[in-house]
Structure 1
Amino acid sequence: MTLPAPLRGAFAGPVNIALSLAVLGALALVLPPLFGWAVAHAVWQGDMATCRAAAGACWAFLQAKARFILFAFYPADQIWRPALVVVALLALMVLSALPRLWGAVLLTVWPVVLMSSWGLMAGGGPLPRVSVNDWGGLPVTLLVWTTCMAFAMPAAVLLALARQSRMGGLRSLSVAYIEVMRATPMVAILYFAMLILPMALPGGVVLDKILRATIMTALFFTAYLAEVVRGGLQTIPAGQAEAASALGLGYWRTVQLIVLPQALNKVIPGLVNLAIGFLLATSLLAVIGVFDLLNAAKASTTDPLWMGFYDEAYVFAALIYFLLCFGGSRYSLWLERRLRRN
């Protein structure tokens, strides 16, 4: 009997057979009790007392606390605003993933959507104002992430080009910035945004803590992105730039039309990997009191009516993170194949 193609590799040779059997054995031990906890013995409706008496998961907890996990303390009568922000940011990412839409129009749409999202969350004019202390959950996670990426990506390209520049002063400054940022923990960057940055601002200038954290996080990750981009730039033969110069192209046109498209194409896995790291690192905002998605999930378990259901809260948050990260990783593979064909 011939095995299907996916299974032939798993059972090709004694080592692969042993590993495959070990994995199947581990799944046989883990999956039945996991199914019992998550489905067979789970409580889908009821209160905390009902859940305490059951042997399985309390999904009734998510029915009661899903809104808080997703939107934290945002006023219930204005919940359409953060929900619209989530939809707008997810739509922006989907549109940005389509190569046929890459161009000047998309570059214009990005700042418009981001500024509109910040304004919609804050309110003003006909909309009632909502304090940043009431923001939280998924909108904050996505808003900080997309804003950081929108700033960090172009800044990283310029920083990578500066590090390869023949101008000694510019190159030294870029190297110093990159090395200092990469040698500083992100938690220290966030504490700087919380405690030091307000004292460094000019008199009369006040930035809320989420905006300060977003600015410093963007500056932090710019250094990491710059090194990924520089890795791509180093793979481009110098002869291509010399040929472009011989044809009369200037430095910036050569970078725009010849060097940068090839360099970014070669580092797509690194860029996507770092973008996913960006998303997961937003959970560190909890150290300065920002209710991102993970912190909101944790806080939801402190409700006296639903206290202690950490497993269910973290599973819900983990599922959202997984969908975003898995979608990004699959998109990376698809984009690599598409650009390779071109």
Structure 2
Amino acid sequence: FYREMHIPPIDKFDEFNEGKMQSFFESQQAIKSLCTYLQELITNMENMTEIQLRDSFLKLLQVSLWGNKCDLSISAGQDNSQKSSPIDSLPDLQRCILVDDSNMVWSMLVAAQGSRSSGIKNARVDIVLDNAGFELVTDLVLASFLVSAGLAKQIRFHGKSIPWFVSDVTKQDFEWTIMQTVASNHKWMSASGVQWKHFMKEGTWSYHDHSFWTLPHEFCDMAVDAADLYSTLQGSDLIIFKGDLNYRKLTGDRKWEHTVRFDQALRGFQPAPLCSLRTLKADVQVGLQLGQAEKLSSQDPDWMTNGKYAVVQFCSPHREQ
């Protein structure tokens, strides 16, 4: 009897799966709102000026940034879902962005893509994912906009090869999220899911995992410890790193002075232009202005760990720092 039982391998078991699914379903209103916004943008895209296109990009970049607040590891199992419209929330959150290099990211994407009419270059964007649930949806919406707007011809998503740190995205989470979006009875949510499924099928989007993402190495060690992954990332026009842990690995989780430049803290890790979208949940932060950290500490002693503040930090190996 026991020999005939099919017992799945334990490395495929995700003990955090229930929490991830719950986070997704409890954020339904926000997801519907975001998908509606996305589909309206796509419908009107041909008539948008470059300024309107840039403003829409900046909004969706911030939505992806603040999606990082929905993290099961910081909420200790408490409700961390997104209830309100993420677009409507942006003005109130703007003052909590401590460093905002969003315009540099936009300029780099436009330069990489060439003119909108010519489409000379097949720009590629890599997104190193963080959390499943609502945050993953914000990443998919941003990626969908990039392709629809002609800012990227190819999106490569990077997730974890095994269930790792609470709500981290695995291939199963990625595929499940798209499937659930397709199956929604909400018109624009389903339309978004169908579009994403099509992107995956035609190869415009692809999911990749690598053991390096679940190893203890700092990212500055990648060129030596995972040369194949580093070489792959060198083919990107922009790498977006989501979340707090990726930020800590980018900066080596060191106790840097807050005014140290972001590119300096990377210590040579510059495979391609890169951007960190991160809400602060750990006591490391670089790239601040002189006196900025001291002012924050006096106003909010827990500013580095409470997830209230965020940064959009950009670094290009070809840009003067």
TM-score w.r.t. the length of structure 2 is 0.26
Higher strand share: 2
More helix by share: 1
Q: Which is greater in Rg?
A: 1
